[in-house]
Amino acid sequence: MNSSSPDFIDADRKRRIRRSVIWLSLLALAFYVGFIALTALRA
């Protein structure tokens, strides 16, 4: 069941969206792992 709008996103935009999602997810992961690593070094 899909109640979202019909698909209006062209292939190129989809690629850009996918790339943005990957980079932003990596950024979030870097903050998570980075802060644990920094604390481990300090403790």
CB 7 to another protein: min, Å: 9
Token pair 């990596």 is found at 26
CA distance 43 to 38: 9
Number of residues that bind another protein (CB under 8 A): 27
Q: Does 28 bind another protein (CB under 8 A)?
A: yes
The verdict on 5 binding another protein (CB under 8 A) reads yes
Instruction: Report how far residue 15's alpha carbon sits from residue 40's, in angstroms, rounded to the nearest whole number.
Output: 37
Residues 6+ apart with CB under 8 A from 24: none
Positions that interact with another protein (CB under 8 A): 1-6, 8-9, 13, 16-17, 20-21, 24-25, 27-29, 31-33, 35-36, 39-40, 42-43
